[in-house]
Amino acid sequence: MKKLFLSIALVGIATFAFAQKKVVRSAERNFKKGELEVALEEIESALQDAETKDDPNTSLVKAKIQTKRFELDEDYAASTVNIGRSALEYFNKTLDMVDGDLSSKIGKEIVKEDIPGMPDNLRPFSRETLKIAAFNKAIQTYEDDDFLMSYEFFNLVSDIDPSDTTANFNAGYLAYQEVGNVEAAKKHFKRLLEVEEYNKLNTYYFLIQIASSEDQDPEQALKYTLAAREDFPEDKTLSEFEVQLLLQLNRMDEAMASVKNALADDPNNSGLLLRYGYLLEQSGDLEGALVQYKKAVEADPDFFEGNYYTGAIYLDRARAILAEVNNLSDEEWEKRAPEMGAEADGLYKDAVPYFARASEIRPDNTEILEILFQIHTRLKNTDEAEKYNQKLIAILGPDWMER
Protein backbone atom coordinates (compact mmCIF):
# COMPACT_ATOMS: atom_id res chain seq x y z
CA MET A 1 0.00 0.00 0.00
CA LYS A 2 2.87 2.37 0.87
CA LYS A 3 4.44 1.69 -2.51
CA LEU A 4 1.12 2.45 -4.15
CA PHE A 5 0.84 5.81 -2.36
CA LEU A 6 4.47 6.61 -3.25
CA SER A 7 3.86 5.81 -6.90
CA ILE A 8 0.75 8.00 -6.95
CA ALA A 9 2.73 10.86 -5.37
CA LEU A 10 5.54 10.58 -7.92
CA VAL A 11 3.03 10.56 -10.74
CA GLY A 12 1.41 13.66 -9.27
CA ILE A 13 4.75 15.50 -9.09
CA ALA A 14 5.67 14.55 -12.64
CA THR A 15 2.24 15.56 -13.87
CA PHE A 16 2.53 18.96 -12.13
CA ALA A 17 6.01 19.60 -13.54
CA PHE A 18 4.78 18.61 -16.99
CA ALA A 19 1.84 20.95 -16.59
CA GLN A 20 4.14 23.88 -15.80
CA LYS A 21 6.27 23.16 -18.86
CA LYS A 22 3.04 23.18 -20.88
CA VAL A 23 2.47 26.70 -19.55
CA VAL A 24 5.87 27.76 -20.92
CA ARG A 25 5.05 26.19 -24.30
CA SER A 26 1.68 27.89 -24.29
CA ALA A 27 3.38 31.21 -23.58
CA GLU A 28 5.67 30.61 -26.56
CA ARG A 29 2.71 29.87 -28.83
CA ASN A 30 0.80 32.93 -27.71
CA PHE A 31 3.95 35.03 -28.15
CA LYS A 32 4.31 33.83 -31.74
CA LYS A 33 0.61 34.52 -32.41
CA GLY A 34 0.98 38.05 -31.06
CA GLU A 35 -1.11 37.45 -27.95
CA LEU A 36 1.51 39.19 -25.87
CA GLU A 37 -0.48 39.97 -22.73
CA VAL A 38 -1.67 36.38 -22.46
CA ALA A 39 1.84 35.12 -23.11
CA LEU A 40 3.24 37.49 -20.50
CA GLU A 41 0.74 36.32 -17.88
CA GLU A 42 1.59 32.70 -18.57
CA ILE A 43 5.34 33.17 -18.45
CA GLU A 44 5.09 35.16 -15.22
CA SER A 45 3.28 32.16 -13.73
CA ALA A 46 6.05 29.84 -14.90
CA LEU A 47 8.70 32.15 -13.46
CA GLN A 48 7.06 31.86 -10.05
CA ASP A 49 7.03 28.08 -10.07
CA ALA A 50 9.92 26.10 -8.58
CA GLU A 51 9.82 23.57 -11.45
CA THR A 52 10.31 26.08 -14.27
CA LYS A 53 11.69 29.31 -12.83
CA ASP A 54 15.32 28.18 -13.15
CA ASP A 55 14.91 26.79 -16.65
CA PRO A 56 16.84 29.09 -19.06
CA ASN A 57 14.15 28.62 -21.69
CA THR A 58 11.59 30.19 -19.33
CA SER A 59 13.71 33.31 -18.91
CA LEU A 60 14.41 33.39 -22.64
CA VAL A 61 10.70 33.36 -23.47
CA LYS A 62 10.14 36.25 -21.04
CA ALA A 63 12.98 38.19 -22.72
CA LYS A 64 11.48 37.59 -26.17
CA ILE A 65 7.99 38.64 -25.07
CA GLN A 66 9.35 41.86 -23.56
CA THR A 67 11.43 42.53 -26.65
CA LYS A 68 8.39 42.30 -28.89
CA ARG A 69 6.34 44.46 -26.50
CA PHE A 70 9.15 47.01 -26.48
CA GLU A 71 9.39 47.10 -30.27
CA LEU A 72 5.64 47.58 -30.66
CA ASP A 73 5.29 50.23 -27.94
CA GLU A 74 4.84 53.63 -29.62
CA ASP A 75 4.62 55.73 -26.46
CA TYR A 76 8.37 56.51 -26.43
CA ALA A 77 8.08 57.07 -22.70
CA ALA A 78 9.87 55.96 -19.54
CA SER A 79 7.48 53.00 -19.38
CA THR A 80 8.72 51.94 -22.81
CA VAL A 81 12.31 52.07 -21.62
CA ASN A 82 11.35 49.96 -18.61
CA ILE A 83 9.96 47.24 -20.89
CA GLY A 84 13.22 47.27 -22.85
CA ARG A 85 15.28 47.06 -19.68
CA SER A 86 13.14 44.15 -18.49
CA ALA A 87 13.91 42.34 -21.76
CA LEU A 88 17.63 42.99 -21.31
CA GLU A 89 17.49 41.81 -17.70
CA TYR A 90 16.00 38.46 -18.75
CA PHE A 91 18.42 38.03 -21.65
CA ASN A 92 21.24 38.51 -19.13
CA LYS A 93 19.66 36.11 -16.63
CA THR A 94 19.26 33.50 -19.35
CA LEU A 95 22.88 33.89 -20.39
CA ASP A 96 24.01 33.48 -16.78
CA MET A 97 22.02 30.24 -16.55
CA VAL A 98 24.05 28.76 -19.43
CA ASP A 99 27.30 30.10 -17.94
CA GLY A 100 27.69 32.73 -20.64
CA ASP A 101 28.09 30.10 -23.36
CA LEU A 102 27.00 31.80 -26.57
CA SER A 103 27.75 28.64 -28.53
CA SER A 104 25.08 26.69 -26.64
CA LYS A 105 21.59 26.26 -28.09
CA ILE A 106 20.16 28.89 -25.71
CA GLY A 107 23.18 31.16 -26.18
CA LYS A 108 22.73 31.14 -29.96
CA GLU A 109 19.08 32.10 -29.51
CA ILE A 110 20.05 35.10 -27.40
CA VAL A 111 22.41 36.58 -30.00
CA LYS A 112 20.69 35.37 -33.15
CA GLU A 113 20.81 37.89 -35.99
CA ASP A 114 17.58 39.68 -36.83
CA ILE A 115 17.52 39.94 -40.62
CA PRO A 116 15.52 42.95 -41.92
CA GLY A 117 12.36 42.07 -43.85
CA MET A 118 11.78 38.69 -42.22
CA PRO A 119 8.14 37.94 -41.26
CA ASP A 120 7.43 38.17 -37.53
CA ASN A 121 6.90 34.45 -37.10
CA LEU A 122 10.46 33.82 -38.34
CA ARG A 123 12.17 36.63 -36.49
CA PRO A 124 14.26 35.64 -33.45
CA PHE A 125 13.32 38.56 -31.15
CA SER A 126 16.79 38.18 -29.77
CA ARG A 127 19.04 40.62 -27.96
CA GLU A 128 19.99 41.94 -31.40
CA THR A 129 16.31 42.68 -32.07
CA LEU A 130 16.14 44.60 -28.80
CA LYS A 131 19.22 46.63 -29.73
CA ILE A 132 17.86 47.54 -33.17
CA ALA A 133 14.49 48.56 -31.74
CA ALA A 134 16.12 50.71 -29.04
CA PHE A 135 18.36 52.39 -31.62
CA ASN A 136 15.40 53.20 -33.86
CA LYS A 137 13.53 54.72 -30.92
CA ALA A 138 16.61 56.75 -29.99
CA ILE A 139 16.77 58.21 -33.50
CA GLN A 140 13.04 58.93 -33.61
CA THR A 141 12.99 60.75 -30.27
CA TYR A 142 16.10 62.72 -31.26
CA GLU A 143 14.40 63.86 -34.45
CA ASP A 144 11.39 64.86 -32.31
CA ASP A 145 13.74 66.97 -30.11
CA ASP A 146 12.91 64.78 -27.11
CA PHE A 147 16.53 64.67 -25.99
CA LEU A 148 15.88 63.15 -22.59
CA MET A 149 14.12 60.11 -24.05
CA SER A 150 16.63 59.92 -26.88
CA TYR A 151 19.35 59.69 -24.26
CA GLU A 152 17.45 56.93 -22.41
CA PHE A 153 17.12 54.85 -25.57
CA PHE A 154 20.77 55.37 -26.60
CA ASN A 155 21.71 54.48 -23.02
CA LEU A 156 19.75 51.24 -23.37
CA VAL A 157 21.53 50.44 -26.64
CA SER A 158 24.89 51.01 -25.01
CA ASP A 159 23.97 48.77 -22.06
CA ILE A 160 22.91 46.04 -24.48
CA ASP A 161 26.22 46.43 -26.33
CA PRO A 162 28.84 48.42 -24.38
CA SER A 163 31.17 48.35 -27.40
CA ASP A 164 28.68 50.17 -29.66
CA THR A 165 30.59 53.40 -30.31
CA THR A 166 27.73 55.28 -31.99
CA ALA A 167 25.34 54.63 -29.10
CA ASN A 168 27.92 55.51 -26.46
CA PHE A 169 29.00 58.74 -28.13
CA ASN A 170 25.43 59.87 -28.74
CA ALA A 171 24.40 58.94 -25.20
CA GLY A 172 27.43 60.72 -23.76
CA TYR A 173 26.85 63.81 -25.86
CA LEU A 174 23.15 64.02 -25.00
CA ALA A 175 23.79 63.37 -21.31
CA TYR A 176 26.35 66.17 -21.15
CA GLN A 177 25.02 68.78 -23.54
CA GLU A 178 21.25 68.33 -23.36
CA VAL A 179 20.30 66.43 -20.21
CA GLY A 180 22.92 67.79 -17.80
CA ASN A 181 23.81 64.39 -16.38
CA VAL A 182 27.59 64.59 -16.05
CA GLU A 183 28.04 61.18 -14.40
CA ALA A 184 26.09 59.48 -17.18
CA ALA A 185 28.19 61.31 -19.78
CA LYS A 186 31.38 60.11 -18.13
CA LYS A 187 30.10 56.52 -18.12
CA HIS A 188 29.62 56.52 -21.88
CA PHE A 189 32.79 58.43 -22.76
CA LYS A 190 34.86 56.10 -20.57
CA ARG A 191 33.34 53.12 -22.37
CA LEU A 192 34.57 54.60 -25.64
CA LEU A 193 38.12 54.69 -24.27
CA GLU A 194 37.92 50.90 -23.92
CA VAL A 195 37.22 50.37 -27.63
CA GLU A 196 40.68 49.89 -29.09
CA GLU A 197 40.02 50.73 -32.74
CA TYR A 198 37.81 53.77 -32.06
CA ASN A 199 39.04 57.30 -32.83
CA LYS A 200 38.89 58.79 -29.35
CA LEU A 201 39.95 62.40 -29.98
CA ASN A 202 36.52 64.01 -29.41
CA THR A 203 35.93 61.67 -26.47
CA TYR A 204 39.12 62.93 -24.84
CA TYR A 205 38.04 66.52 -25.48
CA PHE A 206 34.76 65.91 -23.64
CA LEU A 207 36.41 64.13 -20.72
CA ILE A 208 39.03 66.87 -20.37
CA GLN A 209 36.31 69.52 -20.39
CA ILE A 210 34.21 67.66 -17.82
CA ALA A 211 37.17 67.05 -15.50
CA SER A 212 38.38 70.63 -15.78
CA SER A 213 35.03 72.47 -15.65
CA GLU A 214 32.29 70.40 -13.99
CA ASP A 215 34.47 68.30 -11.71
CA GLN A 216 37.03 71.05 -11.01
CA ASP A 217 39.73 68.38 -11.16
CA PRO A 218 42.71 69.67 -13.18
CA GLU A 219 44.82 66.66 -12.17
CA GLN A 220 42.35 64.29 -13.84
CA ALA A 221 42.02 66.64 -16.80
CA LEU A 222 45.80 66.56 -17.19
CA LYS A 223 45.80 62.74 -17.07
CA TYR A 224 43.27 62.62 -19.90
CA THR A 225 45.28 65.23 -21.83
CA LEU A 226 48.53 63.29 -21.52
CA ALA A 227 46.80 60.05 -22.52
CA ALA A 228 45.26 61.82 -25.51
CA ARG A 229 48.61 63.24 -26.57
CA GLU A 230 50.05 59.72 -26.64
CA ASP A 231 47.32 58.70 -29.07
CA PHE A 232 47.26 61.98 -31.01
CA PRO A 233 50.74 63.55 -30.76
CA GLU A 234 50.08 65.77 -33.78
CA ASP A 235 47.00 67.45 -32.27
CA LYS A 236 47.89 71.07 -31.49
CA THR A 237 44.87 71.77 -29.27
CA LEU A 238 45.98 69.08 -26.85
CA SER A 239 49.34 70.84 -26.53
CA GLU A 240 47.51 73.99 -25.46
CA PHE A 241 45.42 72.01 -22.96
CA GLU A 242 48.54 70.53 -21.43
CA VAL A 243 50.22 73.91 -20.94
CA GLN A 244 47.02 75.46 -19.59
CA LEU A 245 46.52 72.67 -17.05
CA LEU A 246 50.15 72.73 -15.93
CA LEU A 247 49.78 76.47 -15.36
CA GLN A 248 46.58 75.86 -13.42
CA LEU A 249 48.43 73.32 -11.25
CA ASN A 250 51.30 75.79 -10.77
CA ARG A 251 53.79 73.37 -12.31
CA MET A 252 55.68 76.18 -13.99
CA ASP A 253 58.86 74.34 -15.00
CA GLU A 254 56.88 71.58 -16.68
CA ALA A 255 54.64 74.15 -18.33
CA MET A 256 57.65 76.04 -19.69
CA ALA A 257 59.18 72.87 -21.12
CA SER A 258 55.84 71.84 -22.60
CA VAL A 259 55.13 75.21 -24.23
CA LYS A 260 58.60 75.44 -25.76
CA ASN A 261 58.26 71.94 -27.16
CA ALA A 262 54.82 72.70 -28.56
CA LEU A 263 55.95 75.99 -30.14
CA ALA A 264 58.79 74.19 -31.90
CA ASP A 265 56.12 72.31 -33.88
CA ASP A 266 53.61 75.15 -34.06
CA PRO A 267 55.42 78.54 -33.84
CA ASN A 268 52.41 80.63 -34.88
CA ASN A 269 49.93 79.20 -32.39
CA SER A 270 48.51 82.31 -30.71
CA GLY A 271 47.31 80.39 -27.64
CA LEU A 272 50.71 78.85 -27.03
CA LEU A 273 52.46 82.19 -27.57
CA LEU A 274 50.16 83.79 -25.01
CA ARG A 275 50.92 81.08 -22.45
CA TYR A 276 54.64 81.37 -23.12
CA GLY A 277 54.37 85.11 -22.51
CA TYR A 278 52.48 84.49 -19.31
CA LEU A 279 55.17 82.11 -18.05
CA LEU A 280 57.84 84.68 -18.83
CA GLU A 281 55.82 87.37 -17.08
CA GLN A 282 55.47 85.18 -14.00
CA SER A 283 59.23 84.65 -13.97
CA GLY A 284 59.77 88.42 -13.99
CA ASP A 285 60.82 88.73 -17.65
CA LEU A 286 58.38 91.44 -18.73
CA GLU A 287 60.27 92.29 -21.90
CA GLY A 288 60.24 88.65 -22.97
CA ALA A 289 56.55 88.41 -22.11
CA LEU A 290 55.76 91.49 -24.21
CA VAL A 291 57.55 89.99 -27.20
CA GLN A 292 55.47 86.79 -26.98
CA TYR A 293 52.18 88.65 -26.43
CA LYS A 294 52.84 90.78 -29.51
CA LYS A 295 53.66 87.65 -31.50
CA ALA A 296 50.31 86.21 -30.42
CA VAL A 297 48.54 89.28 -31.84
CA GLU A 298 50.56 89.11 -35.04
CA ALA A 299 49.53 85.46 -35.42
CA ASP A 300 45.87 86.34 -34.77
CA PRO A 301 44.91 90.03 -34.77
CA ASP A 302 41.43 89.13 -33.46
CA PHE A 303 42.81 87.27 -30.43
CA PHE A 304 41.22 89.08 -27.50
CA GLU A 305 43.59 87.79 -24.83
CA GLY A 306 46.64 88.58 -26.95
CA ASN A 307 45.55 92.19 -27.41
CA TYR A 308 44.54 92.57 -23.78
CA TYR A 309 47.75 91.11 -22.33
CA THR A 310 49.93 93.20 -24.66
CA GLY A 311 48.11 96.39 -23.66
CA ALA A 312 48.31 95.37 -20.00
CA ILE A 313 52.13 95.07 -20.15
CA TYR A 314 52.43 98.59 -21.58
CA LEU A 315 49.94 99.85 -19.00
CA ASP A 316 51.76 98.26 -16.06
CA ARG A 317 55.09 99.65 -17.21
CA ALA A 318 53.62 103.18 -17.53
CA ARG A 319 52.03 102.97 -14.08
CA ALA A 320 55.29 101.74 -12.59
CA ILE A 321 57.11 104.80 -13.97
CA LEU A 322 54.47 107.18 -12.60
CA ALA A 323 54.65 105.46 -9.21
CA GLU A 324 58.41 106.01 -9.25
CA VAL A 325 57.87 109.69 -10.13
CA ASN A 326 55.61 110.11 -7.12
CA ASN A 327 58.36 108.79 -4.85
CA LEU A 328 61.04 111.20 -6.14
CA SER A 329 62.43 113.88 -3.88
CA ASP A 330 61.63 117.48 -4.81
CA GLU A 331 65.10 117.96 -6.30
CA GLU A 332 64.93 114.75 -8.35
CA TRP A 333 61.37 115.49 -9.40
CA GLU A 334 62.47 118.79 -10.99
CA LYS A 335 65.18 117.00 -12.97
CA ARG A 336 63.53 113.74 -13.93
CA ALA A 337 59.75 114.09 -13.79
CA PRO A 338 59.23 115.64 -17.26
CA GLU A 339 61.30 112.96 -18.99
CA MET A 340 59.78 110.11 -16.99
CA GLY A 341 56.26 111.45 -17.57
CA ALA A 342 56.92 111.58 -21.30
CA GLU A 343 58.17 107.99 -21.21
CA ALA A 344 55.02 106.88 -19.38
CA ASP A 345 52.84 108.74 -21.89
CA GLY A 346 54.67 106.95 -24.71
CA LEU A 347 53.83 103.59 -23.12
CA TYR A 348 50.19 104.64 -22.71
CA LYS A 349 50.11 105.49 -26.42
CA ASP A 350 51.60 102.09 -27.25
CA ALA A 351 48.87 100.41 -25.20
CA VAL A 352 45.97 102.21 -26.93
CA PRO A 353 45.76 100.20 -30.21
CA TYR A 354 45.79 96.90 -28.33
CA PHE A 355 43.09 97.88 -25.86
CA ALA A 356 41.08 99.50 -28.67
CA ARG A 357 41.18 96.24 -30.66
CA ALA A 358 40.25 94.23 -27.57
CA SER A 359 37.30 96.59 -27.06
CA GLU A 360 36.16 96.07 -30.65
CA ILE A 361 36.24 92.33 -30.11
CA ARG A 362 34.31 92.57 -26.84
CA PRO A 363 32.44 95.90 -26.94
CA ASP A 364 30.56 95.28 -23.68
CA ASN A 365 33.72 94.81 -21.62
CA THR A 366 33.49 97.85 -19.33
CA GLU A 367 36.91 97.27 -17.76
CA ILE A 368 38.62 97.96 -21.08
CA LEU A 369 36.36 100.93 -21.79
CA GLU A 370 37.38 102.45 -18.44
CA ILE A 371 41.06 101.85 -19.19
CA LEU A 372 40.75 103.59 -22.54
CA PHE A 373 38.87 106.49 -20.94
CA GLN A 374 41.62 106.91 -18.32
CA ILE A 375 44.45 106.69 -20.88
CA HIS A 376 42.89 109.28 -23.21
CA THR A 377 42.14 111.50 -20.24
CA ARG A 378 45.79 111.24 -19.16
CA LEU A 379 46.95 112.00 -22.72
CA LYS A 380 44.48 114.91 -22.98
CA ASN A 381 42.73 113.32 -25.97
CA THR A 382 39.43 114.99 -25.03
CA ASP A 383 37.33 113.72 -27.92
CA GLU A 384 38.51 110.13 -27.52
CA ALA A 385 37.99 110.27 -23.75
CA GLU A 386 34.42 111.52 -24.24
CA LYS A 387 33.73 108.78 -26.77
CA TYR A 388 34.53 106.14 -24.16
CA ASN A 389 32.67 108.09 -21.50
CA GLN A 390 29.51 107.92 -23.61
CA LYS A 391 29.95 104.19 -24.16
CA LEU A 392 30.26 103.67 -20.42
CA ILE A 393 27.19 105.80 -19.74
CA ALA A 394 25.20 103.72 -22.23
CA ILE A 395 26.16 100.51 -20.40
CA LEU A 396 26.53 101.56 -16.74
CA GLY A 397 24.56 104.78 -16.52
CA PRO A 398 25.56 108.43 -16.08
CA ASP A 399 27.05 107.90 -12.62
CA TRP A 400 29.42 105.16 -13.66
CA MET A 401 32.46 107.03 -12.26
CA GLU A 402 30.95 106.94 -8.78
CA ARG A 403 30.60 103.18 -8.69
How does pLDDT run across 135-167, given as a tens digit for each residue? Answer: 999 999 999 999 999 999 999 999 999 999 999
SS3 call for 217: coil
CB 233, CB 264: distance < 8 Å:
no
CB 55, CB 83: distance < 8 Å:
no
Q: Evaluate whether the domain defined by 271-357 bears CATH number 3.40.50.1360.
A: no
Across the chain, mean pLDDT equals: 91
Each residue's pLDDT tens digit, 277-319: 988 988 889 999 999 999 999 999 999 999 999 999 999 999 9
CB neighbours of residue 118 within 10 Å: 11
Which of 4-8, 243-247, 273-277 shows the lowest per-residue confidence on average (mean pLDDT)? 4-8
Contacts for 14 with CB less than 8 Å, ≥ 6 apart: none
pTM of the model: 0.73
CB neighbours of residue 177 within 10 Å: 11
pLDDT for the residue 20: 60
pLDDT for the residue 3: 47
Each residue's pLDDT tens digit, 348-373: 999 999 999 999 999 999 999 999 99
Amino acid (1-letter code) at residue 39: A
Determine the average pLDDT of the residues in 252-257.
91
pLDDT for the residue 402: 84
Angle at 325 between CA 319 and CA 327, to 5 degrees: 110
Amino acid (1-letter code) at residue 326: N
> Of the candidates 45, 88, 33, 34, which has an alpha carbon nearest to the alpha carbon of residue 66?
88
Phi, psi angle pair for 98, to nearest 5°: -105, 25
